[in-house]
């Protein structure tokens, strides 16, 4: 039986195991491994390639502004010198409503917050964003 890819609009976000609410977008899941090239003494043409540092991109959360201050207060705590690192889990949900795949950000903490733009003539939802740095990306399911 052929497996179908997961839809990207059905997901759940948890922070330290607690449901984190209604997010419209989560972007920036990536990992990049530096390549270290060196030439061995007897090699004339082709250098050896070895894995170097693993670098993880920052992840950005977007959601419609509500009265919840939890994520903003997390950032504010860091601005006051209280770095609280958390595990963030994003879970894709399949067509039957079951958990299909999960990724975890290890030791995540907020690095940037953006308040909504407001326009008196607009009809769009006011969106907040939070960018998080982290020290590891793991697929757990």
Specify the range with the lowest mean pLDDT, choosing from 51-60, 67-76, 98-107, 111-120: 67-76
Predicted pLDDT at 35: 97
* SS3 state of residue 33: strand
Predicted pLDDT at 94: 83
Check whether 21 has a pLDDT greater than 80: no
Cα–chain center distance at 108: 9
Residues 6+ apart with CB under 8 A from 107: 85, 86, 87, 134, 135, 136
Q: What are phi and psi of 65, to 5 degrees?
A: -60, 135
Contact 86, 13 (CB under 8 A): no
Query: Which of 36, 55, 39 is closest to 47 using CA atoms?
Result: 39
Superfamily of domain 11-139: Hcp1-like (2.30.110.20)
Check whether 42 has a pLDDT greater than 60: yes
Check whether 78 has a pLDDT greater than 70: yes
Q: Which two tokens stand for residue 60?
A: 């950005």
Start-to-end CA distance of the chain, whole Å, equals: 20
Q: Which two tokens stand for residue 103?
A: 């990724």
Separation of alpha carbons 63 and 52, rounded Å? 35
């Amino acid at each position: 039986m052929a497996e179908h890819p997961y839809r990207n609009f059905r997901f759940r976000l948890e922070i330290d195991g607690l449901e984190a609410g209604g997010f419209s977008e989560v972007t920036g899941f990536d990992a990049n491994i530096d390549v270290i090239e060196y030439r061995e003494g007897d090699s004339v043409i082709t250098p050896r390639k070895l894995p170097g540092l693993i670098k993880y991109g920052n992840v950005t959360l977007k959601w419609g502004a509500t009265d919840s201050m939890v994520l903003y207060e997390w950032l504010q705590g860091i601005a006051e010198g209280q770095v609280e690192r958390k595990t963030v889990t994003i879970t894709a949900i399949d067509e039957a409503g079951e958990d299909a795949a999960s990724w975890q950000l290890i030791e995540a903490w907020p690095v940037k917050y953006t308040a909504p733009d407001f326009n008196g003539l607009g009809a769009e939802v006011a969106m907040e964003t939070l960018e998080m740095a982290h020290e590891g990306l793991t697929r757990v399911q």
